[in-house]
Structure 1
Amino acid sequence: MKWKSFYMVLIFASIILILSACNSDDESSEEENADGKTNMSVFIAENGEMDLETNSFTEFAEEEFDINFEFQKTGYDSSAAKEKRQISLASGDYADVFFLVDWVDNFAPSEILKYGEQGALLPLNDLIDEHAPNLKEVLEERDEFRKIATAPDGNIYSVPGLEECFHCTWPNKLWINSDWLDELGLDVPATHEELKEVLTAFKEQDPNGNGEQDEIPLSGSAASPNHSVIPILMNGFVYDDAQTRLLVNNGEVSFAANTDEWKEGLEYIHSLYEEGLIDPGAFTQNRDAFIQLGNNADDVILGAAAAQHAWEFIDNDNHPMFDAIEPLQGPNHQYATYNYPVTNSGTFAITNKASEEAQVKAIQLLDYMFTIDGMIRSHIGVEGEDWVEPEEGDVAINEEMEANVKLLFPEDPPNNNWSAAAQYFQPREFRDGQVQAEDIYTDEGFERRLQEATYLYEGKEPEETFPFWGVWYPQDVQDEYSTLETNILDNVEQSSVQFITGELSLEDDWDDYLSGLESLGIDRYIEINQQVYDSYMNQE
Structure 2
Amino acid sequence: MKASALWPMIIILTLIITACSNNDEASEEVDEEDLEETTEITAFMPEHDEMNFEENSFTKLMEDEYNIDFEFETTSWDGTAANERRQISLASGDYPDVYYLIPWVDQFSPSDLIRYGKQGVLLPLNDLIEEHAPNLQAVLDEDEEFRAMATAPDGNIYGVPQLVECFHCTWGNKMWLNTSWLDELDLETPETHEEFKETLMAFRDEDPNGNGEQDEIPLSGSTMTQKESIIPFLMNGFIYDDLETRLLIEDGKVDFAANKEEWRDGLEYIRSLYDEGLIDPGAFTQNADAYMQLGNEEPNILGAAPAVHIQLFTDNDNQYDFDALAPLEGPNAAYSSYTHPIEQGATFALTNKASSAAQIKSIQVLDYMFTEEGSLRAFFGEEGEGWKKPEEGDVAINEDVEPIYVDIPEGEDETLRNDNWAASAQYYHPVEFRDGIVQVEDIYTEEGFERRLQEATYLYEDQEPEDVFPYWGVWYGEDVQDEIAELETNILDNVDQSAVRFITGDLSLEDDWDDYIAGLESLGVERYVEINQDAYDKYLENVE
1:452 alignment partner, one of 445, 450, 455: 455
Q: Give matches, 1:14-33, under 5 Å.
A: 14-24=12-22
Shift of 1:458: 0.3
CA distance in 1, matches of 2:489, 2:255: 17
Matched, 1:352 2:352: yes
Shift of 1:23: 1.6
Query: Which residue of structure 2 lines up, in the alignment, with residue 73 of structure 1?
Result: 74
Query: Which residue of structure 2 lines up, in the alignment, with residue 500 of structure 1?
Result: 503
Alpha-carbon contact 2:219-2:304 (below 8 Å) kept: yes
Query: Which residue of structure 2 lines up, in the alignment, with residue 85 of structure 1?
Result: 86
Alpha-carbon contact 2:43-2:98 (below 8 Å) kept: yes
Query: Which residue of structure 1 lines up, in the alignment, with residue 521 of structure 2?
Result: 518
Shift of 1:410: 2.5
Alpha-carbon contact 2:173-2:227 (below 8 Å) kept: yes
Q: Give matches, 1:327-476, under 5 Å.
A: 327-411=327-411, 412=414, 413-476=416-479
CA deviations on 1:126-166 (whole Å, 9 max, x unpaired) are 10111111111100011111011100000000000111111
1:387 alignment partner AA: W
2:508 alignment partner AA: S
CA distance in 1, matches of 2:387, 2:336: 34
Matched, 1:488 2:491: yes
1:60 alignment partner AA: L
Q: Which stretch shows the higher mean deviation, 406-415 or 192-201?
A: 406-415
Query: Which residue of structure 2 lines up, in the alignment, with residue 266 of structure 1?
Result: 267
CA distance in 2, matches of 1:277, 1:47: 42
Alpha-carbon contact 2:217-2:302 (below 8 Å) kept: yes
2:132 alignment partner AA: H
CA distance in 2, matches of 1:20, 1:315: 50
1:509 alignment partner, one of 498, 512, 523: 512
SS of the aligned residue for 2:42 comes to strand
TM-score norm. by structure 1 comes to: 0.97
Alpha-carbon contact 2:219-2:303 (below 8 Å) kept: yes
Shift of 1:225: 1.0
2:454 alignment partner AA: Q
SS of the aligned residue for 2:176 comes to strand
Query: Which residue of structure 2 lines up, in the alignment, with residue 158 of structure 1?
Result: 159
Q: Give matches, 1:118-267, under 5 Å.
A: 118-267=119-268
Matched, 1:318 2:321: no
CA deviations on 1:332-366 (whole Å, 9 max, x unpaired) are 00000001111321100000000000000001111
Shift of 1:299: 1.7
CA deviations on 1:431-455 (whole Å, 9 max, x unpaired) are 1111011111222111101100100
SS of the aligned residue for 2:248 comes to strand
Query: Which residue of structure 2 lines up, in the alignment, with residue 536 of structure 1?
Result: 539
Query: Which residue of structure 2 lines up, in the alignment, with residue 107 of structure 1?
Result: 108
CA distance in 1, matches of 2:251, 2:519: 28
Distance 1:252 1:26, change over 3 A: closer
Alpha-carbon contact 2:23-2:120 (below 8 Å) kept: no
CA distance in 2, matches of 1:318, 1:169: 25
Shift of 1:308: 0.6
CA deviations on 1:462-518 (whole Å, 9 max, x unpaired) are 000000011001110011111100100000000011000000000000000000000
Distance 1:8 1:299, change over 3 A: farther
Shift of 1:48: 2.9
Q: Which stretch shows the higher mean deviation, 332-341 or 208-217?
A: 208-217
Shift of 1:531: 0.3
CA distance in 2, matches of 1:8, 1:505: 48
1:93 alignment partner AA: D
CA distance in 2, matches of 1:438, 1:513: 50
> Where in structure 2 are there 5+ consecutive unaligned residues?
none
Query: Which residue of structure 1 lines up, in the alignment, with residue 47 of structure 2?
Result: 46
**Count of residue correspondences:** 536
CA distance in 2, matches of 1:408, 1:66: 30
Shift of 1:5: 5.2
Distance 1:425 1:527, change over 3 A: same
Query: Which residue of structure 2 lines up, in the alignment, with residue 306 of structure 1?
Result: 306
SS of the aligned residue for 1:68 comes to strand
Distance 1:5 1:232, change over 3 A: farther
Shift of 1:538: 1.3
CA distance in 2, matches of 1:486, 1:20: 33
Shift of 1:9: 2.2
1:218 alignment partner AA: L
CA distance in 1, matches of 2:190, 2:78: 39
Alpha-carbon contact 2:25-2:352 (below 8 Å) kept: no
CA distance in 2, matches of 1:45, 1:274: 47
SS of the aligned residue for 1:41 comes to strand
Shift of 1:25: 5.5
Query: Which residue of structure 2 lines up, in the alignment, with residue 13 of structure 1?
Result: 11
CA distance in 2, matches of 1:249, 1:201: 39
CA distance in 2, matches of 1:7, 1:385: 54
CA deviations on 1:396-422 (whole Å, 9 max, x unpaired) are 010010111111112124211000000
Shift of 1:188: 1.0
CA deviations on 1:20-52 (whole Å, 9 max, x unpaired) are 111225898x9999x941000000011133211
Alpha-carbon contact 2:292-2:313 (below 8 Å) kept: yes
CA distance in 1, matches of 2:13, 2:314: 48
CA distance in 2, matches of 1:292, 1:27: 56
* Residue identity (%): 62
SS of the aligned residue for 1:72 comes to strand
Shift of 1:295: 1.1
TM-score norm. by structure 2 comes to: 0.96
CA distance in 2, matches of 1:9, 1:232: 45
Distance 1:137 1:27, change over 3 A: closer
Q: How large is the RMSD of aligned CA atoms in angstroms?
A: 1.7
Shift of 1:204: 1.1
